Structure 1
Amino acid sequence: MPALLEDPTTHIPPPPLPPNTPPLSSLTPIPKLLRDGTKITLYPITTGPSTLPHSLTTYLHEQFSLEIEKGCTYPMESPMEYDLYRNYWFGTFAVIAVVDEVQVGGGKDNKEEGGGGNDGLREGRNWEEACLGTFYVKPNYPGRCSHVCNAGFFTTPAARNRGVGRVMGEAYLEVAPKLGYKYSVFNLVFENNVASVKIWEKLGFQIIGRVPGAARLANSPDLVDALIIGRSLV
């Protein structure tokens, strides 16, 4: 579920938080239940990629590269280098969705039941089974317009047909206002990505614009329109 590809080498500072707002480090993991009954936790990443297991960021980089190479959802024509990807995706704010450990491999060394601590992101997990997807949240514009955000999403093979996209969308609507954002806009939701469009419409987003023939996609012989989708966060 792509949103916008800005210049991956440019960092736009997020909006200032209102007075007396708790620090981002106080954001706690979000427990959720998938439609098949699987318990998962969505972990906020507030301190950059260096705090994440190398094996996890490597796996996510591989999966994101495959998504780009498919040529159907993101506008890039070639994958990013690893270091560029990890700073682009995790350098401002991101969330990673993983299956609670008690449901993977019997959970003998499990230290969490979901929603507390960051044990679910420990090194040594089988990310092909445990990691379901990730999304980032960033300003869509700089300076005095930085309270308008965008986000980028992708899911892994372990998430297929389990409703993970909808769950991550719900989590996005929970955390984005806590980051100081007032409005969300997605600039490049390709019209033929029907599943993504349906998720956002069910979550209260509206189509506020259209860019005709915006994309040359691998799954269409014709140019595909890009929808601009927005929603208030307050």
Structure 2
Amino acid sequence: MELRAATPDDWAAIHPFYAAIVEAGATYAFPAGQALEEARAWWMEQPPGRTIVAVDDDGAIVGSAKLGPNRPGRGAHVATASFMVDPAHHGRGIGRALGREVLRLARGDGYHAMQFNAVVETNTAAVRLWQSLGFEVLCTVPEAFDHREHGLVGLHVMYQRL
């Protein structure tokens, strides 16, 4: 698997799994039903942020991540990131590889820390993954996410000093 910077042409391959994950209503609070070009702005970061892709040996894009400053101005020394793995490719270590790469890139970019603002507490696989990569749950905002299956559930704020 290759991890590389996303190009504008990659969006057409990212969008199908982006749309499926958003539509599932279990992990992202992004608006559902976004058309191809409308959704692009929600995922394809502009500098100083960046978007990366995971490409399998057959050349298919199987996952993506984006990172950039968590806040502008005086909060820009803390990074944030988001991750999506094509559901057809779960269980292959793609999320872990993307997580490690994002942490490497954030350190290289000089960020002091990384903060995830909204990890859905019922997304236990992601919570375990981020904890295994050194993140801690700082707090949980109760009933902050309207999960399609479970109703109102909490959102974890997770943090790691870099």
**Normalised by the size of structure 1, how large is the TM-score?**
0.64
Of Structure 1 and Structure 2, the greater strand share is in 2
The equivalent position to 1:81 in structure 2, one of 24, 27, 35, is 35
- Please give the residue correspondences for 1:92-131 in structure 2 after superposition, counting only pairs within 5 Å: 92-100=49-57, 104=58, 130-131=60-61
What RMSD over aligned residues (CA atoms) do the two structures have, in Å?
Answer: 1.6
Counterpart in 1 of 2:132?
Answer: 202
Q: Contact 1:131/1:158 (CA < 8 Å) preserved in 2?
A: no
The change in CA–CA distance for 1:65 and 1:161 in structure 2 (over 3 A counts) is same
Q: Contact 1:211/1:225 (CA < 8 Å) preserved in 2?
A: yes
| Cα displacement (A) at 1:166 | 1.0
Q: Contact 1:147/1:181 (CA < 8 Å) preserved in 2?
A: yes
Query: Of the two, which has the highest radius of gyration?
Result: 1
- Please give the residue correspondences for 1:52-71 in structure 2 after superposition, counting only pairs within 5 Å: 52-53=8-9, 56-71=10-25
**Normalised by the size of structure 2, how large is the TM-score?**
0.90
Counterpart in 2 of 1:25?
Answer: none
Higher RCO, 1 vs 2 (CA within 8 Å, ≥6 residues apart): 1
Question: What secondary structure, in the 3-state scheme, does the structure 2 residue paired with 1:212 have?
Answer: strand
| Cα displacement (A) at 1:219 | 2.1
Counterpart in 2 of 1:41?
Answer: 2
Distance (whole Å) between structure 2 residues aligned to residue 200 and residue 172 of structure 1: 12
| Cα displacement (A) at 1:81 | 3.2
Distance (whole Å) between structure 2 residues aligned to residue 85 and residue 179 of structure 1: 26
Give the counterpart letter for 2:51 in structure 1. A
Q: Contact 1:71/1:77 (CA < 8 Å) preserved in 2?
A: no
Counterpart in 2 of 1:143?
Answer: 73
| Cα displacement (A) at 1:42 | 0.3
Moved over 6 A (4+): none
Counterpart in 2 of 1:212?
Answer: 142
Counterpart in 1 of 2:120?
Answer: 190
Give the gaps of 5 or more residues in structure 1: 1-39, 46-50, 105-124
Kindly indicate whether residue 161 of structure 2 is the aligned counterpart of residue 232 of structure 1: yes
